Homo-oligomer: A and B are copies of this chain.
């Protein structure tokens, strides 16, 4: 079975633009390209795309995914570990942001209440 760009797009949920991009950066090359420039993908590419999507969902950058797909198991293991650590840091950072935002919001609210009280007084 061969798939045109559109067909693989439908099959994978990616846009044709994205598939062309993956070709451009050498992440997913079509099995063959007609003289017209039309791209065609076969089984091997579909499988590779599955892998790509798997790592993409885990938040890996495309360049890293390229490396991983050609690395031995133990290197993937390492990559997963360090990626996990990085994500955890980011998450912790977000937790801090959330905390600060909540503080800011409640402080602002308090200020508003005070102002309203003063205004209410002045209104009387």
- What is A's interface to B at a CB cutoff of 8 Å? 57-59, 73, 76-77, 80-81, 83-84, 87-88, 90-91, 94-95, 97-98, 100-102, 104-105, 108-109, 112
B97 touches A87 (CB 8 A): yes
CB distance from A92 to the nearest CB of B (A): 9
Q: Report whether over half of chain A's contact residues are helix, strand or loop; otherwise say mixed.
A: helix
A111 to chain B, nearest CB (A): 8
B80→A91 contact, CB < 8 A: no
Check A105–B81 contact: CB distance below 8 A.
yes
* Cβ contacts A to B, 13 pairs, < 8 Å: A57-B100, A58-B101, A73-B108, A76-B108, A77-B108, A77-B112, A80-B101, A80-B104, A80-B105, A83-B101, A84-B98, A87-B94, A91-B94
